[in-house]
Amino acid sequence: MTITNEQSKKFAAHTHINPSGIVKDISAADLIDQTFLAYNGARIREAAKLFSEKMLRGNGYVGLSLTGALTPAGLGKSCLIPLIRAGFIDWIVSTGANLYHDLHYGLDMKLYAGSPFLDDVDLHRKGLIRIYDIVFDSRVLFDTDAFVREVIQGPEFQRSMGSDEFHYLLGKYVSERDRKSNLKGDSLLATAYECGVPVFTSSPGDSSIGMNVAAMSLRNSKLQFDVNRDVNQTAAIVFEAKSTGHTSSVFILGGGSPKNFVLQTEPHIQEVMGLQERGHDYFLQCTDARPDTGGLSGATPSEAVSWGKVDPDKLPDCVVAYVDSTIALPLITAYCLARAKPRQLKRLYDQRDALLTRLRQEYLKVCPNT
């Protein structure tokens, strides 16, 4: 069929679906560009391009939210650490569970691929723990707990602090242990410490790390989490990005509390503090939840616009890929590492006090008596 110029104009904004056959040595990035052309495959391609071509452009600020048991599956080591070291992730909000299980890798403990169909009663008798199709010895938990309790007894922990400072100090101990033991540096927390990437948790008590902190409080530990500081500190990062002419992007893996925490920075700036802002510039989410059941927790990018979480002018650039994060994250990581140049680390943790001071000063100018 011959296509006329007039007919071609109708499809000027669309990509012709005409892929070549897949060859045996094709790279992950080329596979995505050439064959992920429709349905959620196309959403993965759009997500990868959004991240590599727009979110990272102009030294934009990228915040990551992390839910689901991704670190025990090895995705901290395989994906998140390379993204951090490349300068592609500037700050993180995670469930405490992901950070706790990350410690197993940092402490050189072993996790194994199993099956979701194992006999859990038999596993319990053998002292084994199962996370879906991941299995490990229960001593991994006990030894990780012991490490956390030992570390937080140190004098630098005997005070109130933001969760970013707590994770920075915890990561320092893991990093030092790895260095002394000549380990490879497989911990997300240790890498974040080394690269100055602040790591927050939106629910500090909701994990084994939080349980160990709570237990030590019964032994007169003075460690407490300053949630107010976390709320203001995350908002300060976003405000710094936007007030200095940079973009602010969110990369959301899953949903839940970390998703809301990374997104609520904009309503906190606009609605609560009364500062002029328009919302995050770029929104990228990988999820298997649905908005009609309430499972998206903050729901779609268009709904986020109504809250001021996302800049309405940037809504066409938002991408939601309804794909399991264990599939999407390795593909997006491989694509970005192939297509985007490494960026200089922002080391936002090192600037935490200055960023918070600037936010406070702007807030007091707008609302001096409230």
Considering the entire predicted model, what is its pTM?
0.95
Model confidence pLDDT, tens digit, residues 221-268: 999 999 999 999 999 999 999 999 999 999 999 999 999 999 999 999
Asked whether 38 and 17 are in contact (CB, 8 A), the reply is yes
Residues 6+ apart with CB under 8 A from 275: 239, 269, 362, 363, 366
Neighbour count for residue 216 (Cβ, 10 Å):
17
Residue type (1 letter), 26: I
> Which helix (H) or strand (E) segment is 112 a member of?
strand 112-113
Model confidence pLDDT, tens digit, residues 80-136: 999 999 999 999 999 999 999 999 999 999 999 999 999 999 999 999 999 999 999
Catalytic residue among 309, 314, 346, 365: 309
Average pLDDT for 9-15: 81
Q: Catalytic residue at 346?
A: no
| SS3 category, 88 | coil
Block residue for tokens 């005997």: 158
Give the domains, in start order, of the chain with CATH numbers.
Answer: 23-360 (3.40.910.10)
Model confidence pLDDT, tens digit, residues 271-319: 999 999 999 999 999 998 888 888 775 568 999 999 899 999 999 999 9
